């Protein structure tokens, strides 16, 4: 029987180096107690920020000192919890860290309202008197920009204190899906017992044996059916939270509130959805190509993840994936390539799945730590691409930290998804030219097409769904699990025509954690569009384009996202990047069709 290992069975070299943050949990506890005792120092400045520039600078510097420690304390606790979500000790650490984060936010909730009593002239005068404040110019501009949506200090403090309460739907969903739910064990075509999990579901859906794929599909979604009321309630409460918080901040819609934090107009969101909808024929062509390649009369729900080759795909061991990714990023320059290799050697990555481990993949870390990447590596081509993706995020963080002060080292997701997808695209280019076999080339090409399908089209479908369900709440319409099924099922059928989909796929919304992230997913689609344009510039212009891209990464959050992306020569207010990306998708569909016919 194939069973997931326990955490302690994973070898050290495949675990991230959390001891580089704190030597042990006692050291974490000491850091927690130290910063917890000092949070009130920040509250003591209330009512004094605009008295004089010296006081304002003193506060900003002390805030940085304490919030950097808070961030590190919170990150360590959350990473430990992610290792095994069943571990109650780390659940408790994470809960304490969450409370600390909320307390810190509450202690500084007066900052924006106080600064917003100033105007541009007042801020300029402060910077003239205290030149070190000039470093915060973009921060001041962002704060004043949000004046219409900032409430009184009392309300801001209340909203901050409610942070750990309003995050409850997402946390409950995560505990249900990652810690409490167990999926059936099924017999694979070789007679081996395989336990279905969140992490291996997609891989099992790529098994060449079609009856087995159907069994996995049905067993997986039937298990979700047993928790449909809990998941439906969690999502509905998440939507209501988004809407109510937006209204509390004087926004007309939750979407407007979510995008305004990054100063991205909703027109960009609408343009993405419209452009993709106008080009659904390309996705339909992909579905039809897959149906022909699989030699089936109808493409069914359990066929959607299948390779165009009809095969599961070659194994790619983790060490091989590392080597290929490092070689693939050579166009980004030797320093970038060397730093990425050093990161892999420094155990940035928590590689393999273990029982209770959080599903999916992510890159994390703080200004004062190395990056940390959670993987559930499955020794296949998709896992290799996921590793390249997360390394793009980690390298983005490294370059931004090296170039920016603390307050600008972070960056918006709108920009982040470009960095991750550039790495994927470079990996595709490298392997299409240098892979040791045609088998790998064919699967890389298929993977690239699948990434376009799942990132540009699928994430836009998610974005459309997310907008519709938020709008339903804003219009006062009830949202039950059946209503979610209907809305999602209609979109799925529209996007994946000519596939013949079963009713179980209507429940797919239940397994998508991104719907708890408040209009997050559309940025995957804009990211892959911008990344395709960046790589095309690097192909044609070489090092100048590579340098402008690296400069984009180095800018972090020192400018608004659209301006940062423009550094790399990409205008995301135009439909051109999305249309260009779909053009690349069509080109690779042509190439795949040619390969399948030979």
- State the chain's mean pLDDT as an integer: 94
Active-site choice (114, 157, 390, 417): 390
Domains, the chain, ranges and CATH?
Answer: 20-166 (1.20.140.70), 199-314+408-598 (1.10.1370.20)
Residue 368, pLDDT above cutoff 70? yes
Rounded percentage of the chain residues whose pLDDT exceeds 90:
85
Question: What φ, ψ does residue 187 adopt, rounded to 5°?
Answer: -95, 125
Burial of 319 (C-beta count, 10 Å sphere; 0-12/13-18/19+)? exposed
More confident residue, 156 or 501: 501
pLDDT band at 203 (very low <50, low <70, confident <90, very high): confident
- Which of 157-161, 181-185, 410-414, 547-551 comes out lowest in average pLDDT? 157-161
Q: Mean pLDDT throughout 499-514?
A: 96
SS3 for 313-376 is: CCCCCHHHHHHHHHHHCHHHCHHHHHHHHHHHHCCCEEEECCCCCCCCCEEECCCCCCCEEEEE
Q: Are 101 and 74 in contact (CB under 8 A)?
A: yes
Residue 507, pLDDT above cutoff 60? yes
pLDDT tens readout for residues 416-469: 989 999 999 999 999 999 999 888 888 899 888 998 999 999 999 999 999 999
Q: Mean pLDDT throughout 260-273?
A: 94
Q: How much is the pLDDT for 1? A: 42
Q: Mean pLDDT throughout 207-224?
A: 96
Number of Cβ within a 10 Å radius of residue 81: 26
Distance in angstroms (rounded) separating the CA atoms of residues 267 and 361: 30
Q: Are 463 and 517 in contact (CB under 8 A)?
A: no
Q: How much is the pLDDT for 443? A: 87
Is residue 390 part of the annotated active site? The answer reads yes
pLDDT tens readout for residues 285-342: 999 999 999 999 999 999 999 988 877 779 999 999 999 999 999 999 999 999 999 9
Distance in angstroms (rounded) separating the CA atoms of residues 316 and 330: 20
Q: Mean pLDDT throughout 185-208?
A: 92
Residue 594, pLDDT above cutoff 90? no
Distance in angstroms (rounded) separating the CA atoms of residues 45 and 153: 13
Q: How much is the pLDDT for 25? A: 96
pLDDT band at 2 (very low <50, low <70, confident <90, very high): low
Q: Are 490 and 275 in contact (CB under 8 A)?
A: no
Distance in angstroms (rounded) separating the CA atoms of residues 111 and 44: 11
pLDDT band at 498 (very low <50, low <70, confident <90, very high): confident
Residue 265, pLDDT above cutoff 70? yes
Q: How much is the pLDDT for 521? A: 92
pLDDT band at 160 (very low <50, low <70, confident <90, very high): confident
pLDDT band at 242 (very low <50, low <70, confident <90, very high): very high
Q: How much is the pLDDT for 555? A: 98
pLDDT band at 598 (very low <50, low <70, confident <90, very high): low
More confident residue, 390 or 596: 390
Q: How much is the pLDDT for 552? A: 98
Residue 169, pLDDT above cutoff 50? yes
């Amino acid at each position: 029987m194939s069973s997931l290992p326990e955490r302690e069975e994973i070898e050290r070299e495949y675990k991230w180096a959390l001891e580089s943050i704190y030597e042990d949990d006692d050291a974490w506890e000491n850091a927690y107690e130290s910063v917890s005792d000092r949070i009130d120092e920040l509250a003591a400045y209330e009512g004094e920020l605009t008295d004089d520039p010296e006081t304002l600078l003193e506060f900003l510097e002390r805030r940085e000192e304490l919030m950097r420690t808070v961030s590190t304390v919170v990150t360590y606790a959350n990473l430990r919890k992610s290792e095994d979500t069943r571990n109650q000790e780390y659940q408790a650490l994470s809960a304490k860290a969450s409370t600390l984060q909320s307390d810190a936010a509450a202690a500084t909730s007066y900052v924006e309202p106080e600064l917003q009593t100033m105007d541009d002239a007042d801020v300029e005068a402060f910077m003239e008197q205290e030149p070190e404040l000039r470093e915060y110019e973009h921060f001041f501009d962002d704060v004043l920009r949000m004046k219409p949506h900032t409430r009184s200090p009392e309300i801001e403090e209340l909203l901050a204190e409610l942070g750990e309460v309003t995050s409850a739907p997402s946390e409950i969903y995560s505990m249900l899906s990652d810690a409490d739910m167990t999926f059936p064990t099924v017999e694979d075509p070789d007679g081996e017992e395989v336990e279905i999990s969140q992490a291996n579901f997609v891989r099992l859906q790529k098994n060449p044996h079609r009856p087995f794929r159907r069994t996995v599909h049905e067993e997986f979604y039937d298990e979700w059916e047993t928790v449909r009321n809990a998941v439906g309630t969690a999502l509905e409460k998440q939507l209501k939270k988004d809407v109510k918080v937006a209204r509390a901040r004087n926004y007309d819609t939750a979407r407007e509130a979510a995008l305004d934090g990054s100063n991205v107009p909703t027109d960009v969101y609408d343009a993405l959805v419209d452009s993709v909808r106008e080009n659904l024929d390309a996705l339909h062509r992909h579905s039809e190509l897959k149906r022909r390649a699989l030699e089936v009369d109808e493409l069914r729900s359990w066929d959607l993840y299948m390779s165009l080759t009809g095969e599961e795909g070659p194994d790619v061991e983790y060490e091989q994936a590392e080597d290929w990714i490092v070689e693939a990023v050579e166009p980004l320059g030797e320093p970038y390539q060397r730093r990425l290799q050093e990161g892999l050697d420094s155990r940035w990555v928590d590689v393999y799945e273990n029982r209770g481990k959080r599903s999916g993949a992510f890159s994390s870390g703080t200004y004062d730590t190395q990056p940390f990447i959670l993987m559930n590596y499955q020794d296949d081509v998709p896992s290799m691409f996921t590793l390249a993706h997360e390394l793009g995020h980690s390298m983005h963080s490294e370059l931004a930290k090296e170039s920016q002060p603390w307050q600008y080292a972070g960056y918006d997701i709108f920009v982040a998804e470009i960095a991750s997808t550039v790495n994927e695209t470079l990996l595709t280019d490298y392997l299409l030219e240098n892979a040791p076999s045609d088998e790998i080339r064919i699967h890389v090409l298929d993977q690239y097409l699948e990434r376009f399908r799942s990132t540009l089209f699928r994430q836009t479908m998610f974005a459309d769904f997310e907008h519709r369900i938020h709008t339903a709440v804003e219009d006062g319409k009830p949202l039950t699990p059946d209503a979610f099924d209907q809305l999602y099922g209609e979109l799925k059928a529209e996007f994946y025509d000519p596939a013949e989909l079963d009713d179980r796929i209507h429940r797919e919304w239940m397994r998508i954690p991104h719907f708890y992230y408040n209009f997050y997913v559309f940025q995957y689609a804009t990211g892959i569009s911008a990344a395709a344009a960046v790589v095309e510039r690097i192909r044609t212009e070489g090092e100048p384009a590579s340098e402008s891209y690296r400069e984009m990464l180095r800018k972090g959050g020192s400018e608004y996202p659209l301006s940062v992306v423009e550094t790399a020569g990409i205008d995301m207010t135009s439909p051109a990047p999305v249309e260009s990306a779909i053009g690349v998708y069509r080109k690779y569909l042509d190439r795949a069709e040619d390969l399948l016919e030979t």
